[in-house]
Amino acid sequence: MGCAQSYKHFTGKSRKRILFDGVGEALEPLHQEKEQKDSFNIGEFLKLHDQFMTVKKLEGLSNKTISDHLLFMEYYKRWLIDDVKDYENRSVEKGIFLQYTAYLFQKEYKPCTINIRLRTIKCYLRWLYTEKITTDDISSKIKLVKVPKDTKEPLTISEVKKIFRVLNLNEYSQFRDYVIMLVILDCGVRINELLNVKIEDFNSKDKTIKIGSETAKTRESRVLPLSSKTVRYLKKLMKIAKDNDEDYIFCSSYGDRIMTVNVIKNFEKYGKRAGITNKQTTPHQYRRTFAVEAVKAGIDIFSLQKMLGHSSISTTRIYVNLDNSHIIKAHNKLNIINKFL
């Protein structure tokens, strides 16, 4: 910082350069403050995360989003403890997060999983920068990994039927997972939202389930319609829950709340058992399959957006990746040119 600049910094006025001896004590606190910010380390990074979480709770983030932030930061902390020497004194800079990304690749995590973990870190880093706790916007330097195109392809009808055939519906856990598949394919509900549905959230007369604002990702409640066939199986599962004095429809084999991660593992296991190895068979893929089949059946994009619970219609469009054959069929039905000839 030059002398004339120093004077303007403290007085707000512009003057021509003056001569004086030394740097001057008045500049020392600024240098000290800059050194403190630039030396922000991982130890402080971890400690301030609780404050960040408090802010996010006050902003009204869903319990699921809050728990995800906490869980993924815990994963990052475990990696630091196990793999990074003297991690608490390491500077918060791009390199240490690239190391973590490399570690996730080495462990063969799927690109989508890696990106989910990186997004929570980027969100926290962005907050640190916005609050002027860090002087560098490190979040903008951390790039998400490329997701292979085939991971976004929905399941075909024949593939879903193959999976259905490998399920043993006489076993509770597989029958429960079968009902989960039917509900997602019927209305496109998120798996986290579905597992939080209670018996009281089901309306037998209207054949609907209510997704409460406290569990919805967008914090907005919505009502989802179901077909008669799905309702018939859902009622059987509800009866089991009632007989065991459970509030939630979907429970573990021991009567506890079932965890999303366990359902995902089960779905992937069923997919492999059915011989489907070229794409994911997670609950999210069933949700994407619903979106594509709903459009093929004629649903309008705005109704689909409402059912999927998207706050932006651009997100809904990403879900619907129709192949050329469907576009050709849709065009043939229009017969627009006949109006002119």
Instruction: Give the span between the Cα atoms of 327 and 322, in whole angstroms.
Output: 7
- Across the chain, mean pLDDT equals 85
Q: How sure is the predictor about 61, in pLDDT bands with cuts at 50, 70 and 90? A: confident
* Cα–Cα distance for residue pair 125/45, rounded to 1 Å: 9
Count of Cβ atoms closer than 10 Å to residue 8 Cβ? 13
For residue 12, is pLDDT > 80?
no
- Tell me how many degrees the CA angle 153-159-162 measures, rounded to the nearest 5: 155
pTM of the model: 0.64
Give the residue with greater pLDDT, 321 vs 35. Answer: 321
pLDDT at residue 28, rounded to an integer: 42
Q: What is the pLDDT of residue 114?
A: 93
For residue 123, the one-letter residue type is C
Query: Between residues 274 and 152, which one has the greater pLDDT?
Result: 274
The CA distance from 72 to 69, in Å, is 5
**What are the CB-based long-range contacts (under 8 Å, 24+) for 12-16?**
none
Q: Which two tokens stand for residue 269?
A: 């296991």
Mean pLDDT of 69-90: 94
- Mean pLDDT for 23-36 is 41
**Section 163-187 average pLDDT:** 96
Q: Is the pLDDT of residue 123 over 80?
A: yes
pLDDT of the residue at 4 = 45
Who's near 218: CB < 8 A, 6+ residues apart?
Answer: 309, 310, 311
Q: Give the burial string for 280-292 (b: 16+ CB within 10 Å, else e).
A: bbbbbbbbbbbbb
Give the residue with greater pLDDT, 251 vs 278.
251
Is residue 187 a contact partner of residue 201, using CB atoms and an 8 Å limit? no
Please compute the mean of the pLDDT values over residues 281-293 and round it to a whole number. Answer: 93
Q: What is the mean pLDDT of residues 144-168?
A: 86
Q: What is the pLDDT of residues 296-328, one digit of tens each?
A: 888 888 888 999 988 888 778 777 766 666 666
Match 């070229």 to its residue by tokens.
Answer: 278
> For the chain, which domains are there?
42-141 (1.10.150.130), 157-334 (1.10.443.10)
Output the pLDDT for position 257: 86
pLDDT at 66 over 70: yes
What pLDDT, on the 0 to 100 scale, is given for residue 33? 39
Task: Quote the CA–CA distance of 294 and 292 in Å, as a whole number.
Answer: 5
Q: Are 241 and 248 in contact (CB under 8 A)?
A: yes
pLDDT value, residue 149: 60
pLDDT at site 264:
95
At 41, which helix (H) or strand (E)? none
- pLDDT for the residue numbered 36: 40
Q: In whole angstroms, what is the distance from residue 78 CA to residue 165 CA?
A: 40
Query: Mean pLDDT highest for which of 9-13, 164-168, 296-300?
Result: 164-168
Long-range contacts of 310-315 (CB under 8 A, 24+ apart): 310/218, 311/218, 311/220
Q: Given this model, what pLDDT does residue 64 score?
A: 82
**pLDDT tens string 189-247:** 999 999 999 999 999 999 999 998 888 887 788 999 999 999 999 999 999 999 999 99
CB within 8 Å of 120: residues ≥ 6 apart: 68, 69, 72, 73
Nearest to 101 by CA among 85, 79, 74: 79
SS3 category, 198:
strand
pLDDT tens-digit readout, 80-105:
999 999 999 999 999 999 999 999 99
Residue 320 has a pLDDT of: 75
Amino acid at residue number 191: I
Q: Which two three-digit tokens encode residue 131?
A: 């609050």
Q: Please, are residues 339 and 327 in contact by the beta-carbon 8 Å criterion? A: no
Residues of the chain with pLDDT > 90: what percent?
60
Q: What integer pLDDT is reported at residue 290 of this predicted model?
A: 92
The C-alpha atoms of residue 255 and residue 172 are separated, in whole angstroms, by 11
